[in-house]
């Protein structure tokens, strides 16, 4: 079986469960496609019905429903269950070298390297991503001296971004810097602000304080739980609407047809924190089918971008602030050219949006 298979418009001719339909259809041409692997592929966001992503294997199909399995390998019974990180490229594919070329160096000295990571690049290798080139590979190939705390395989990585999240990251080039930066992240003295495109605007700017733990129904997800349940740990985020005249109030681009730009500030650093907290208030990032986005299945990434990172320099103690400009695909969806969008969405403007956050509605 090839690494990438594309099935187009499989029309359902009988009302039945989605997984049953796919098991029968795929079983005729892909004998290795088991019922369990098909169910896992559905949960990973690889299947859409009538152009909308569906995550439930038990989804009831109607006659003439159109089912699409897009650009991904359906694993055999003995294969790994696909993870969120592998839902677009196949498990054994390699990230093309051109992604390395898209990594932008924002700042560098003897202790730290600050970069802008492109969407699609994995930070470090995982068992579900065997064979893919990673940010760690890039760092090792660059010939830079890197911190070895935690093992050489970490290559100075002290925090991470999800594969399809783009934006600013800091890398430690010395063990001293690694320890200092890790301490700042643990003590929450480093500040991180993200920009996202959402399906709906916020009803009002708000702070969400809800513990996050392992999802009971889907091992790929996290979810909001009472503190301690399913390993749930305290998590705090602040969210605000970003209104730009050129983007959302233009007469040529009616607001109702434009994605909603929001900013998110992290006070803690739980896995998928922004995505989980937004989902808990019924807001979803464009492309984030894992957490409930139901829009166009042509959106092939999660539109979340690490925009601002503020920290103290590990050696001098000087407060430093770094900003990673938005990628071109953000501009494409907002209908504004990249330069105009970044000029309007300045670092100082975004930081000022969070100055009154202590007065915002707090959801717990």
Residue 63: both structure tokens together = 């006659």
Residues 6 or more apart whose CB falls under 8 angstroms from that of 50 comprise: 65, 66
Catalytic residue, chosen from 19, 65, 111, 162, is 162
Closest CA to 310 of 184, 215, 206, 200: 184
Residues 6 or more apart whose CB falls under 8 angstroms from that of 32 comprise: 1, 76, 77
- Find residue 224's DSSP bridge partners: 212
- The helix/strand/coil state of 29 is helix
Residue 297: both structure tokens together = 């299945």
Distance CA 297, CA 70 (A): 9
Residue 117: both structure tokens together = 């990571």
- The helix/strand/coil state of 212 is strand
Is 109 labeled as catalytic in the residue annotation?
no
Q: What is the DSSP letter of 255?
A: G
Q: Tell me how crowded residue 351 is: count the other CB atoms within 10 A of its CB.
A: 18
Closest CA to 79 of 120, 38, 112: 38
Alpha carbon 222 to its chain's center = 13
Distance CA 221, CA 38 (A): 18
Distance CA 4, CA 71 (A): 6
- Find residue 268's DSSP bridge partners: none
β-bridge pairing 361-363 and 206-209 = parallel
* Residues labelled catalytic: 162
């Amino acid at each position: 079986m090839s690494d990438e298979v594309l099935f187009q418009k499989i029309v359902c001719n009988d009302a039945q469960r989605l997984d049953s339909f796919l098991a029968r259809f795929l079983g005729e041409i892909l004998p290795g496609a088991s019922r369990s692997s098909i169910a896992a592929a559905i949960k990973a966001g690889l299947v859409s019905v009538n152009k909308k992503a569906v995550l439930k294997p038990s989804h009831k199909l109607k006659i003439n429903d159109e089912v699409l399995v897009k650009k991904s390998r359906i694993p055999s019974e003995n294969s790994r269950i696909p993870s969120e990180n592998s839902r677009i490229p196949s498990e054994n594919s390699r990230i093309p070298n051109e992604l390395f070329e898209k990594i932008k160096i924002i700042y560098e000295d003897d202790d730290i390297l600050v970069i802008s990571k492109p969407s699609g690049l994995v930070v470090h290798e995982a068992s579900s991503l065997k064979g893919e080139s990673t940010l760690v590979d890039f760092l090792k190939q660059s010939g830079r001296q890197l911190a070895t705390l935690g093992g050489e395989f970490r290559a100075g990585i002290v925090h991470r971004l999800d594969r399809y999240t783009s934006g600013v990251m800091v890398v430690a080039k010395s063990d001293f810097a690694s320890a200092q930066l890790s301490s700042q992240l643990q003590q929450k003295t480093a500040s991180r602000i993200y920009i996202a495109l959402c399906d709906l605007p916020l009803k009002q700017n708000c702070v969400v304080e809800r513990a996050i733990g392992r999802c009971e129904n889907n091992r790929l997800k996290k979810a909001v739980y009472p503190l301690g349940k399913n390993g749930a740990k305290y998590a705090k985020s602040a969210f605000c609407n970003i209104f730009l005249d050129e983007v959302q109030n233009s007469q040529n681009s009616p607001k109702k047809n434009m994605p909603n730009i929001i900013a998110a500030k992290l006070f803690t650093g739980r896995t998928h924190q922004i995505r989980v907290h937004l989902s808990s208030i019924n807001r979803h990032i464009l492309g984030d089918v894992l957490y409930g986005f139901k829009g166009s299945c042509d959106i092939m990434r999660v539109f979340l971008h690490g925009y601002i990172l503020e920290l103290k320099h590990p050696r001098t103690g000087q407060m430093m602030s770094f900003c990673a400009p938005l990628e071109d695909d953000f501009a494409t969806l907002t209908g504004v050219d990249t330069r105009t969008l970044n000029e309007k969405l300045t670092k100082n403007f975004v930081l000022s949006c969070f100055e009154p956050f202590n007065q915002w509605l707090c959801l717990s």
